Amino acid sequence: MKNLVRTIVIVVNLVVMMTVTAFAANVTQLIASGHDVYDQQPESYKIAVNTYFERVPNSVIVLFMQRGGTIHYTDTVLVGQQDVNGIYTFDSKQITLKATSNNNSWDEVQKAPVHELGHFIYHTTQPMFTDQMKADIRKLYNERKSYDNRCYNEDETFAALYSDYIKFNYRGGAHAMPSPEYRVFMQAEDLCQQMLSYSI
């Protein structure tokens, strides 16, 4: 019985590895509408967004796809505000992106797909946060709310700092994490891994 269980575990792991490898994610693989808008963007945009996007663990991308998540590009103004680069719609798991922005920084435009994915991670894993994870995100929000206008609630703080976490490749060790609380992002990614459903 034990051997059988072990065999099943190995098979499941192999299936997951194969599934995960198949979706080494590029933004284009998740676009459900607005391909033309994406295609019109300069190469510098495509390289920049995909450089960041490809650093997101595949388990997060696969979970996003399993939950029906999709990316939609548009060239219209979002929620009536010129400086909004992206929206995440919780119910439909839709990420809507605008690749050009009149008022916002190029840096934020490049990070927008990962920022919106950060909202997916937060909304999906937050009910399973440990007390330490809850305390970490609360502390990051409280520290930044007075000077970082991206951080106006815990949800936005998570998404904004997740995009920084990916940009600076803290998990990959390219830079040291600015504070221990950044562990919450790695732990939330781990929760995504645990939430994957396996079919064998």
Site string for Zn ion, 110-149 (x = CB under 5 A): ----------------------------------------
Smaller CB separation from Zn ion, 91 or 131: 91
Q: What's the min distance (Å) between Cβ of 157 and Zn ion?
A: 9
Q: What's the min distance (Å) between Cβ of 116 and Zn ion?
A: 7
Q: What's the min distance (Å) between Cβ of 108 and Zn ion?
A: 10
Find where tokens 């079919």 sit. 199
Site for Zn ion in 66-105 (CB under 5 A): none
Q: What's the min distance (Å) between Cβ of 119 and Zn ion?
A: 6
Where does this chain touch Zn ion (CB under 5 A) — which range of 67-75, 139-147, 155-163, 165-173? 155-163
Q: How far is CA 56 from CA 50, 136, 185, 192, in A?
A: 10, 20, 11, 11
Q: At what angle do helices 43-53 and 154-167 cross, to 10 degrees?
A: 100
User: What is the rounded distance in angstroms from the CA atom of residue 187 to the CA atom of residue 46?
Assistant: 28
Write b or e for each residue in 94-116: b if 16 or more Cβ atoms lie within 10 A of its Cβ, otherwise e. bbbbbbebeebeeebbbbbbbbb
- State both tokens at 189: 């990614």
159 binds Zn ion (CB under 5 A): yes
Binding footprint of Zn ion, residue count (CB under 5 A): 2
Find where tokens 């645990």 sit. 194
Smaller CB separation from Zn ion, 90 or 106: 90
- The closest residue (CB) to Zn ion is 159
The torsion angle over the Cα atoms of residues 5, 7, 10 and 12, rounded to 10 degrees, is: -70
Site for Zn ion in 39-58 (CB under 5 A): none
Smaller CB separation from Zn ion, 89 or 179: 89
Contact residues: Zn ion, CB under 5 A: 156, 159
